[in-house]
Structure 1
Amino acid sequence: MILQQLILSVLIVGLVSCQSGKNKIVISGTIKGENPGKIEYTNPINGTCNWWFTKSIEPDSLGNFKINIKSDIPLFLKLRTTYKKQGTIIVEPGKQYKLIFDTSKEKNVLSVTDESSVIQKAYGKFPNPFHIQDGAREFLRDSLASRIKNTIEQRKTREIAEIEKHFSQNTISEDVFNLIKTDRECYYDAVLATTAWIKKMMEMQGRKNSFNPDFEQLWYDAFRPALFKKPEIINTQWFNFYTECYIYFQEYKNGNFTKDKLEELRNLDNTITYRVEKSKEYLPAEFCENYLAHYLYEKCFQKKYEKELIGLFNDFKTNYPESEYNFYISPLIDEIVKFHKTADLDFHENIHFVDEYENINTLSELAGTFTEGKIYVDVWATWCGPCKAEFEHKEELKRMLNKYNIPVLYISIDREKNSERWKNMIKHYELEGYHVRANKELAEELRKIFDKNGSLSIPWYILIDAEGTILNKRASRPSNLSALEKEINEK
């Protein structure tokens, strides 16, 4: 009996070991060039490939690193050292991969050196933009929907034929073939849908003939049939873009994608809740966890601190209590909770609002509220992520400006309806200095100052004097204090 139990235990251990080996993926890499100290890679939750959800690894002193992943299906995996230095590889269960990450290059930083290099290079030649709108941009000036569709169909057919050639030569498995084929279908259908969607938005903004019946048909064609019948769609790089386009399309079909409807939605306090409910209504249930996690994370990451996100995330956790996504979203929700607790507190004594700022129409008028000297102006908005990222350097900025007796003037270009959020955000980030929310006239003048064509990009920093004279129209950011201090001393 004891012998039988021992034999059974050995068999079980052997079986488990064999199974764990089958779903193990090992990626061995070497850094060529400067060692970045850290490499991020997409965490394939449910087989997805999404930059919102990452893990990281530190190369050793020689630049070597190893990534171990478990999966029962082929995956796309993205790796990066910086925003610009990134690459994509295709991996499948039970295999090992060798790659070189060349940080000295500006493009094509990732190269695979194992036997899979043929398919990796083939896929690497296909369009792989950072955002789907980058892929659609070349078609936005074209007024012929039929020409756009034909161009995209030709490209898609050519790329799929290239993958079919490798499949027929047995250089890739059927699972890898299906993954890449679905990826190409998903990408090009998303490009078609995005082009039609943007054309519709252009029409709503007053550009006549942007969205004619042919572009409406193009939108319909992009989702006929929808790719949701293919389980591999979740594992493509374009799943979230495609899904988002599909939700817009369904809203259009149901009469909710009009200028009046969208404006009405923007004025509601539960726009995110509306979108979540529509996602559940339009999408197959098996795709909701992945898309909703992406959507909630993205909204939290924008740091507008909408209170409704707290309840929506609680619902998500109830529906998906074991979801790996909860680990990533939870800290962002904690920050939102903290933000709303801060909103109940008083303003810090060193936070000042310029008297009657609502009636100040020009930068000169605004500068005149200061007695003398130079003023460092920070033009920002509550919806601007890079603006808020610069607030991390506010303490160093304050110490440096205090040496020269220079105050900070924060000008928000938020709309009046966001006035409460603007003030709460000032509290949350403890922005000591002077504050103004630009009225329509001041905002218009700022656009003219920034660019004669009327555009404005933020965050934007200006150095002026108390008479309103612009000393430096493009002053350096708080994150570049050494350059800013040099500019101050030059004026």
Structure 2
Amino acid sequence: MRLSQFIFVILLPFFAVCQGKKTEITISGKITGKIPETIEYTLPINGIDYFGFTNSAQTDAAGNFQIKIPSDKTCFIELSTHYQSYGVIIAEPGMTYKVSIHTEVKDGKFKVESKNEKAQALYNQIPNRNMIVGGHFELETKSLMKDSIISRIKQKLEQKRETEIAEFQKLLKDKTISKNFYNLVQSDRNFFYKGAQGSLAFINYLLSAQNKNALSPEQYKKLWKEIFLSNPVNSPELLTSPWFYYYTENYLRYQELIVEGTPSAAISEYHKQGLIHTHNINNAKKYLTGQQLEYYFAAYIYYESINKNYEKELITLFEQFKKEYPNSPYTHFLEPVIIPVIAFHKKKEEPLNEKIKFIDKTDSANLVKDVIKELNGKRFYIDIWATWCGPCKEEFKHNAKLYELLKSKGITMVYISIDKDNRDKQWKEMAQFYNLEGYHIRANEKLDTDLRTLYGNQSMGIPWHFLTDENGTIIKKSLSGPSEIENLEKQLNEVNP
């Protein structure tokens, strides 16, 4: 995955991973505040799980729900709605848990009532326990990016791991938690911090191409190699870890980039040919076997599909997966995320909506004012987006109401993409797939710079919506997107009722 996406993408929720006679885990709960129609929960499959492999339970009008999961192992079960995590239960076979979820309070929104509820609360307080609350490897390494002393890096990571584990050791000693409970938490923390160490090495490898690496090649290679000696990918403990996919992904990078010495130019060529995912799976097949490979293959397809880049090779890989694993329990979870990819490519065969207008002469469009000068209209609603931006594409679901509102106000719709040249084809295909009615321009370098200047920060956050007059002068610098159509209407009325 590209580093910019790898570090900044709004990242997705935790695994539910189970660690034997199979018996039921029962979870009864109540949601107060805004009550979703269903609550999703991760499922233990073959002793390992993934955040995308979930089932759901219906909530009643009062917010009550009940979940029963057959399992023979202690496991993490993540409760969420649309990748928004409520919290995690460390669940043991035969036990019953009562959960309270408050959707409209910041603190204390998730509570588990059980004989080990103190430990449940303790785990949910860990700041890096979940990817969507800052638990990704790359986020953990941010404070270490400028450190050039390996021993100090390892010491800092180990101190954090020991601090988090220490409280659970006390609970184990006074028998508040079982040995299985403790072992699962310990494994989780071990692989998380080793994964962070490997991630730091990988980032230094990437930065070395620009001479911005804090660690020398000898240092980051050593740092990287060490984690797979102490915590190997074929460890049974890794198969019970929530970090299996991401840890294994880091291992495969190490094998390809360091051990095999594959040049970046070769990997770039796979990208150009539209075969990078096929290459990555073929690379995984060299180092993984059996259950590990099946799980990784399925998790890879799921993860790349929900990124909504709609690469056609994912369809081919899905068909390949079904052929190689005809009875896989993971296929059921892959089908819903592959369907939109198939739909995307079918849409390309349809005629282009005449209301989608691409502005092809972009060499002279170096400022927002230059763009507006070429268009007819009195006011313009500008949507800054990119094909790799998940939140941007989520907004497009609400465009029908947006177009109706803009038409009533006499406002012209303009989409400006900040995609680079190599995504020109995908930019046009996505505009067609999402039926983005209005004018479209892909920013050149100077227009991109102008946008960041207008935004006021080089790290421009997108989607970004603003309003200009007929000369391209900004009237309202920050507007709501179509998902908040009522608020957007109020904002437009304030500018010009």
Q: Do the two structures share a fold, i.e. TM-score over 0.5? A: yes
- Return closer, same or farther for 1:381/1:124 CA change in 2, 3 Å cut-off: closer
Cα displacement (A) at 1:119: 3.3
TM-score by length of 2: 0.87
**Map of 1:278-357 to 2, 5 A cutoff?**
278-354=283-359, 356-357=361-362
Cα displacement (A) at 1:164: 4.7
Query: What residue in structure 2 maps to residue 481 of structure 1?
Result: 485
Tell me if the contact between 1:21 and 1:94 (Cα under 8 Å) persists in the aligned partners.
no
- Return closer, same or farther for 1:81/1:340 CA change in 2, 3 Å cut-off: closer
The structure 1 residue matched to 2:466, chosen from 462, 465, 476, is 462
Cα displacement (A) at 1:368: 0.7
Tell me if the contact between 1:358 and 1:437 (Cα under 8 Å) persists in the aligned partners.
no
Q: Deviations over 1:39-87 (max 9, x none)?
A: 2221223333432222222333443321100112111011135766521
Query: What residue in structure 1 maps to residue 243 of structure 2?
Result: 238
Query: What residue in structure 2 maps to residue 215 of structure 1?
Result: 220
Tell me if the contact between 2:78 and 2:85 (Cα under 8 Å) persists in the aligned partners.
no
- Which SS does the other structure have where 1:314 is aligned? helix
Q: Does 1:178 align with 2:179?
A: no
Query: What residue in structure 1 maps to residue 45 of structure 2?
Result: 45
Tell me if the contact between 1:196 and 1:211 (Cα under 8 Å) persists in the aligned partners.
no
**Map of 1:4-403 to 2, 5 A cutoff?**
22-33=22-33, 35-81=35-81, 86-126=86-126, 127-130=128-131, 131-160=136-165, 162-167=167-172, 169-211=174-216, 213-256=218-261, 259-354=264-359, 356-403=361-408
Deviates more, 1:164-173 or 1:237-246: 164-173
Cα displacement (A) at 1:489: 3.0
- Which SS does the other structure have where 2:237 is aligned? helix
Q: Deviations over 1:208-262 (max 9, x none)?
A: 5444533332111121133334323223221122111111211222344655444
Cα displacement (A) at 1:417: 2.3
- Distance in structure 2 (CA, Å) of the matches to 1:64 and 1:184: 32
- Return closer, same or farther for 1:31/1:333 CA change in 2, 3 Å cut-off: closer
Tell me if the contact between 1:381 and 1:412 (Cα under 8 Å) persists in the aligned partners.
yes
TM-score by length of 1: 0.88
- Return closer, same or farther for 1:158/1:484 CA change in 2, 3 Å cut-off: closer
Q: Deviations over 1:394-437 (max 9, x none)?
A: 11111111112212111122222222222222221111111112
Letter in 2 for 1:235: T
- Distance in structure 1 (CA, Å) of the matches to 2:437 and 2:86: 38
Letter in 1 for 2:28: S
- Which SS does the other structure have where 1:222 is aligned? helix
- Distance in structure 2 (CA, Å) of the matches to 1:78 and 1:475: 34
- Distance in structure 1 (CA, Å) of the matches to 2:311 and 2:442: 20
Cα displacement (A) at 1:202: 2.5
Tell me if the contact between 1:364 and 1:467 (Cα under 8 Å) persists in the aligned partners.
yes
Query: What residue in structure 2 maps to residue 11 of structure 1?
Result: none
- Return closer, same or farther for 1:138/1:374 CA change in 2, 3 Å cut-off: same
The list of structure 1 runs, each at least 4 consecutive aligned residues, that deviate by more than 6 angstroms after superposition, is none
Cα displacement (A) at 1:472: 1.7
Cα displacement (A) at 1:369: 1.0
- Return closer, same or farther for 1:241/1:308 CA change in 2, 3 Å cut-off: same
- Return closer, same or farther for 1:346/1:104 CA change in 2, 3 Å cut-off: closer
- Distance in structure 2 (CA, Å) of the matches to 1:25 and 1:197: 39
For the pair shown, the structure with the greater C-alpha radius of gyration is 1
- Distance in structure 2 (CA, Å) of the matches to 1:105 and 1:484: 25
- Distance in structure 1 (CA, Å) of the matches to 2:264 and 2:453: 27
Tell me if the contact between 1:99 and 1:114 (Cα under 8 Å) persists in the aligned partners.
no
Cα displacement (A) at 1:374: 0.3
**Unaligned runs of at least 5 residues, structure 1:** 1-19
- Return closer, same or farther for 1:33/1:407 CA change in 2, 3 Å cut-off: closer
- Which SS does the other structure have where 1:57 is aligned? strand
- Return closer, same or farther for 1:124/1:416 CA change in 2, 3 Å cut-off: closer
Cα displacement (A) at 1:297: 0.9
- Distance in structure 2 (CA, Å) of the matches to 1:341 and 1:469: 39
**Unaligned runs of at least 5 residues, structure 2:** 1-19
- Return closer, same or farther for 1:485/1:110 CA change in 2, 3 Å cut-off: closer
The alignment-based identity, stated in percent, is 36
Query: What residue in structure 2 maps to residue 439 of structure 1?
Result: 444
- Return closer, same or farther for 1:365/1:28 CA change in 2, 3 Å cut-off: same
Tell me if the contact between 2:395 and 2:483 (Cα under 8 Å) persists in the aligned partners.
yes
Tell me if the contact between 1:76 and 1:236 (Cα under 8 Å) persists in the aligned partners.
no
Q: What RMSD, in angstroms, separates the aligned Cα atoms of the two structures?
A: 2.5
Cα displacement (A) at 1:341: 2.0
Tell me if the contact between 1:463 and 1:475 (Cα under 8 Å) persists in the aligned partners.
yes
Tell me if the contact between 2:115 and 2:176 (Cα under 8 Å) persists in the aligned partners.
no
- Distance in structure 2 (CA, Å) of the matches to 1:485 and 1:33: 26
Tell me if the contact between 2:233 and 2:248 (Cα under 8 Å) persists in the aligned partners.
no
- Return closer, same or farther for 1:488/1:318 CA change in 2, 3 Å cut-off: same
- Distance in structure 2 (CA, Å) of the matches to 1:289 and 1:108: 38
- Distance in structure 1 (CA, Å) of the matches to 2:264 and 2:382: 35
Cα displacement (A) at 1:163: 4.2
Letter in 2 for 1:230: S
- Return closer, same or farther for 1:114/1:316 CA change in 2, 3 Å cut-off: same
- Distance in structure 1 (CA, Å) of the matches to 2:233 and 2:65: 36
- Distance in structure 2 (CA, Å) of the matches to 1:71 and 1:101: 24
- Distance in structure 2 (CA, Å) of the matches to 1:271 and 1:79: 33
Letter in 2 for 1:480: E
Cα displacement (A) at 1:360: 2.3
- Which SS does the other structure have where 1:414 is aligned? coil
Cα displacement (A) at 1:103: 3.1
